[in-house]
Amino acid sequence: MSTRIAYTLYSLARMIREDRYFAAGFITILVVIILSAAASIISPYDPYKIDLINKLRGPSPEHPMGTDQLGRDLFTRILYGGRYTLFLSASAVLLALVIGLLVGTLSGYYKGWLDLIVQRFVDILMSFPSIILAIALATMLGYGLETLVIAVAIAESPFLIRVVRAAVISIRDLPYIEAVRLMGYGDLYVILRHVIPNIMYVVIPQVTLQMGSAILIIAALGFLGIGIKPPTPEWGSMLNEARAYLMDYPHLLIFPGLMIFLSIVSFNIVGESLKMRLDPKARSLIGSRSRLVWGLYRGGRRGLDERNTSY
């Protein structure tokens, strides 16, 4: 196990050294996560404390990003906001991953009627633009952090189910899997020990890309007033609050948006680079010429998904 971790770290270091795009994205994500986690150490301010005397100040040495309409330090709120936006997105993607692995593997491994039912169900979920699905679920399940995570996870899951299923189908009848089955091992063992580890090269990049999409949906829901509500600092809802002060205080608009944008771009770049590196099909099809292109192209019409669309 420890050699495996060492190898992963080694590969990571090599990718950072060899791939400028990956390095930039990866380091940005790392910095944002560390800053959010260490929010209470970095900033002396309370993200909720109202200070009306100092409201709507521009950036200054005491307040590097200025203060908002209630005099709260914007930089502090952005740091704390990262906790909400990133943590909720990560939880949603994790849940979507569990759903995707479970449903996708069963559907692809056993095929037959189960597969047929699952695929029709995925069709139904994909009949909604994913933001609409998330909005509908979040509204109907009621407000709350858990329901928000569940809604976004369900909206994200059809893509993962499809990807996992396709990968499982592509390897389920290969000789080495067949051999393990013939040795008398049960399906559960085959799936856990041989199928799932061998589809990770597709799943890991997809999950990273899905992170970008989840951040976008969480922030969009916050912006629309359906997700996290003020005074909780969340990047999307902070932007919503900033709308009223757009005319005279653009700093309220620039910083939260920039954070959402940077996080999404970084996860997308890291996802695309991972895909180039891990997926032999992606590499041979496009070649090194246009490394970032593959994710947008995906060799065909049905590969087109909506992971980056907010509308």
Partner 1 sequence: MGVLTVYIVKRVLLVLPTLIGVITMIFFLVRILPGDPTHLLAGEQASPEIIERLKAEFGLDRPIYEQYILYLKSVLTLDFGTSYRTYTPVIVEIMSRFPNTVILALSAMLIAIFAGIALGIVSALRVGSVIDRAVIIFTSIYVSMPVFWLGLLLIYFFAVQLKILPAGGIGSPAHVILPSLALSHTPLSYIARITRESILETLSQEHVRLAIARGLPLRSILINHVIRNSLINVITVIGYFTGVLLGGAVVTETVFAWPGIGRLLIESIAARDYIMIQGIVIFIAMIFIFVNLIVDITYRIIDPRVRL
Residues near partner 1, by CB under 8 A: 120-121, 123-124, 127-129, 131-132, 135-137, 139-142, 212, 216, 219-220, 223-226, 236, 239, 242-243, 246-247, 250, 253, 257, 260-261, 264-265, 268-269, 286, 289-290, 292-293, 296-297, 301, 304, 306, 308-311
Nearest distance in Å: CB 162, partner 1: 15
Closer to partner 1 by CB, 191 or 207: give it. Answer: 207
Closer to partner 1 by CB, 6 or 246: give it. Answer: 246
Nearest distance in Å: CB 80, partner 1: 19
Report DSSP letters for 38-105, one per residue. THHHH--S-TT---GGGTT----SSSTT-B-TTS-BHHHHHHHHHHHHHHHHHHHHHHHHHHHHHHHH
Closer to partner 1 by CB, 172 or 291: give it. Answer: 291
Cα 232 to Cα 72: distance, rounded to the nearest angstrom: 12
3-state secondary structure of 230: coil
Closer to partner 1 by CB, 91 or 237: give it. Answer: 237
Closer to partner 1 by CB, 189 or 261: give it. Answer: 261
Cα 286 to Cα 293: distance, rounded to the nearest angstrom: 8
Nearest distance in Å: CB 126, partner 1: 9
Nearest distance in Å: CB 132, partner 1: 5
Closer to partner 1 by CB, 4 or 120: give it. Answer: 120
- 3-state DSSP of 232-248: CCCHHHHHHHHHHHCCC
Nearest distance in Å: CB 116, partner 1: 11
Cα 149 to Cα 126: distance, rounded to the nearest angstrom: 18
Nearest distance in Å: CB 9, partner 1: 27
Neighbours of 184 (CB within 10 A): 7
Instruction: Decide if 95 contacts 148 (C-beta within 8 A).
Output: no
Residue 67's beta-bridge partner residues?
A: 73
Cα 305 to Cα 74: distance, rounded to the nearest angstrom: 35
